[in-house]
Amino acid sequence: MTSTSSHKSASISWPAPAKLNLFLHVTGQRADGYHELQTLFQFIDHCDYLDFHITDTPDLVLHSNISDSVADSDNLILKAAKSLQRYAQYEGGAHIWLDKLLPMGGGLGGGSSDAATTLVALNALWKTNLSPSKLAEIGLTLGADVPVFINGFSAFAEGVGEKLITVEPTESWYLVIVPNVHVSTKDIFQDPDLPRNTPKVDINTLMTRKWTNDCQKLVTTRHPQVANALSWLVEYAPSRMTGTGACVFGEFTHSQQALDALAELPADMRGFVAKGMNKSPLQIRLEQL
């Protein structure tokens, strides 16, 4: 951060955690083109980080280590800040610093998480005092995954991902592999080969079944990098893809098991070990205020 950020109105290290879809079922497609889902979200302790410097002027400025990759007009952080500013009729603004650590196009929800952290942090720092449900309503206009990050707890989700029921799956250790490919969520959901008719099942039944991802077969067929990562990882632990990919994850009981597998990772693959968290690091940060 620059020297201006040392002002008393600065607030640093707000986490924007990754999520895993522990399962993902596509149960139908609505008339507006959006897909109906049943999915289980769990956070992991691998995050982007955002710093905020509140200003008296209404300008919103983003400083980022990926500024060359995403135009300001498409950046969910600025969209989130502008949406909150507009809804709350807040007259001030902010400088925002993003330390981008989560891979883009990996199915870990990084962009949605960045947007959620922006809404939650600025709501606190601007003292606009909107409820979490109102923030989630604003967040849903930015992306279907944003509400779960605002909610702050592992959740079973239905609808397009906005109908949330808090659950507490086992907080496992995960080895997450990041294939060197960007998978477009839009392209996957528009692909005619995507299964769209998985029967809806009640939550109690789903929580006791073997977990799968309806997007996995399509993505591994289209992207051999994802298929290769998954075929390597499944030799070490129960493994599957998160979201629409590209990241895949293996589930371990102990951290050392995951670290041992990471040590064997082929040189042409990259990955990291993370802990599952049923309370989001963002929620923990908010409670510290």
Active site residue 19: yes
DSSP string, 191-237: -TTS---PPP--HHHHTTSPP-BTTHHHHHHH-HHHHHHHHHHTTTS
Determine the Cα–Cα distance for residues 120 and 112; give it in Å rounded to an integer: 12
Contact 95, 52 (CB under 8 A): yes
Determine the Cα–Cα distance for residues 282 and 84; give it in Å rounded to an integer: 18
Q: How many CB atoms lie within 10 A of CB 31?
A: 5
Convert 60-80 to b/e letters by CB count within 10 Å (16 or more is b): bebebeeeeebeeeebbbbbb
Q: Which of 19, 51, 79, 114 is catalytic?
A: 19
Structure tokens at 209: 């079944």
Q: Which of 48, 51, 114, 145 is catalytic?
A: 145
Structure tokens at 227: 């298929």
Contact 245, 106 (CB under 8 A): yes
Structure tokens at 111: 């962009």
Active site residue 114: no
Strand partners, 57: none
Give 39's Cβ-side CA count (13 Å radius): 26
Determine the Cα–Cα distance for residues 97 and 80; give it in Å rounded to an integer: 14
Active site residues: 19, 145
